[in-house]
Amino acid sequence: MSISTTDLMVKDVLLSPDRVPVLPPTTLLKQALEEMNKFRLGVVCVTDEDEKLIGIFTDGDVRRLLLKSQKPFAALFVDDIIVHATSSFTSINDTASLSEAVVLMEKKEIWDLPVIAEGDGKFLGLLHLHPAIKAVMGL
Amino acid sequence: MNSRSITIGRDDQVSGVTIGETAPLAFLGGPCAIETSDHARMMAERIGEICAKLNIPWIYKSCYDKDCRSAPDSFHGVGLDEGLKILGDIRSDFGIPVVCDFSDADWAKPTGEVVDLIQVPAYLCRQTTILRAAGDTGLPVHLKKGQFMSPWNMKNAVRKIEATGNRQILLTDRGTFFGYNMLVNDFRNFPIMSETGYPVCFDATHSVQLPTSMGDISGGQREFIPHLVRAAAACGINALFMEVHDDPPNALSDANTVLDIKYLEQILAQAKAAHELRLELLDKWGADRVHLDD
């Protein structure tokens, strides 16, 4: 039995944590950038010891940081990623529908949406816009 | 910015010294090298009298091996066994914590069995084996910033120590190379190194060193010590480090930079006053709030 695209849930399409840069808060900014390159994603997810998402750092944050910071690169590179990560990020529960998630991403104009477990609040992965659109379109 | 404080003093035999946050300014001092037992004890007594008079908590510093001297025939030290015996006796007889550095990883364990604070020499602050050995003693670590290191890169050295499970670190600035044979102090180093969360210290006497500027020995401009001490205390240090001698011209190590003990009281008194004034100002006006986001 095939699943209708309208029945798809966020949990059916999300990128699991092993396919996303998931880093502890004391990761150096330089290492975080390397992880973004490695996974070919413009985002890193910062989690605490309880696997709770505590921050998001994106390509956009890098651009804004470069324009704002007057530190030498060598000093910026050794900052803890959590210092520059955004703690007030948009997220969605794994039980939400995919269409609901895509509407939210369109509304917020974001490419990546962190997915949080409804029960214990643990970080479950990332909904990336490309696979989400492909799934919605049945491609 | 300093979120942690550390306490120096491994047992009740000595008066523990707390360094950090709003604790009183601590002093780390003594002759650069242990010369003789009598001289080391005499210095401990005289420095102790001054610190008692000023009510300044202090830690006795002197080293048994000077491994970074400029010339092959410079005084190298009394050696590990004799040096540690002298430091141990001073510790128990005077009731003060002691600090000493080590430049060979094998010396960390015996040194750590005597001292209260174990010191990583500035030149060796990148050496993983040394940092690991210091951390493994379980003692608070006095980590001096290399003259060649940026303050932000000291975080790497800090993390090497933290990897041993040791989270008691004191970070010290002893000057930064400004070309050859010249050191300058960048006072931004204190708030930057404080971002590690550990207390920070200013080494005033090594900061005025002119490294190996006199061919086979280092020169120094000790006339700048009082100026730099006042500036550092106002900037926000938690401890002050100075090497002190009763007869600088005849000191066996760092003769051109050690502070003559006759000046110690006036400098420590000013450092203490500047430190207290800074804390008063912060209490009155609040923590420094000039940020990048302004």
Task: Determine the residue type at B262.
Answer: K
B150 → closest Cβ in A69, A70, A75: A75
Among B199, B202, B253, B197, which Cα is nearest to B226's? B202
Give the per-residue pLDDT at A54.
Answer: 97
Here the tokens at position B153 are: 């890169």
Q: Which residues of chain A have pLDDT under 50?
A: 1
Distance CA B101, CA B209 (A): 18
| Helix, coil or strand: residue B265 | helix
Is the Cβ of B274 closer than 8 Å to some Cβ of chain A?
Answer: no
CA A21 to chain B, closest CA, distance in angstroms equals 22
Contact status of A1 with chain B (Cβ, < 8 Å): no
Q: Is A16 on the interface with B (CB under 8 A)?
A: no
Q: Are B205 and B174 in contact (CB under 8 A)?
A: no
Supply the pTM of this predicted model. Answer: 0.89
Which residue positions in chain B have pLDDT lower than 50?
1-2
Distance in Å, alpha carbon of A100 to nearest chain B alpha carbon: 35
Cβ atoms of B6 and B198 closer than 8 Å: yes
CA distance A48 to chain B (A): 18
- Nearest-Cα distance to chain B for A78, in Å, is 7
Contact A74 B150 (CB under 8 A): yes
Residue B116: name the closest of B238, B243, B16 by CA.
B16
Among B286, B274, B202, smallest CA distance to B238 is for: B202
C-alpha separations of B162 from A138, B110, B143, B177 in Å: 51, 21, 12, 27
Q: Which secondary structure element, helix H or strand E, spans residue B100, and what is its range?
A: strand B98-101
Show Cβ contacts of residue B142 under 8 Å, excluding neighbours closer than 6 positions: B28, B99, B101, B117, B118, B119, B120, B170, B172, B201
Q: Quote the pLDDT of residue A88.
A: 94
Contacts of A68 in chain B (CB under 8 A): 292
User: Which residues have C-beta within 8 Å of that of residue B149, sequence separation ≥ 6?
Assistant: B125, B126, B157, B176
- Interchain proximity B150–A69, CB inside 8 Å: no
pLDDT of residue B1: 44
CA B135 to chain centre: 17
Can you give the pLDDT at residue A116? 96
- Residue B21 has what pLDDT? 87
Which residues from chain A sit within 8 angstroms of residue B192, using beta carbons?
75
Under 8 Å between Cβ of B160 and B194: no
Residues of B within 8 A of A86 (CB-CB) are none
Sequence-distant (≥ 6) Cβ neighbours of residue A35 within 8 angstroms: A21, A23, A27, A44
DSSP H helices in B211-263: 225-235
Report yes or no: A68 at the B interface, CB cutoff 8 Å.
yes
Contacts of B292 in chain A (CB under 8 A): 68-70
Output the pLDDT for position B67. 85
* ipTM for this prediction: 0.75
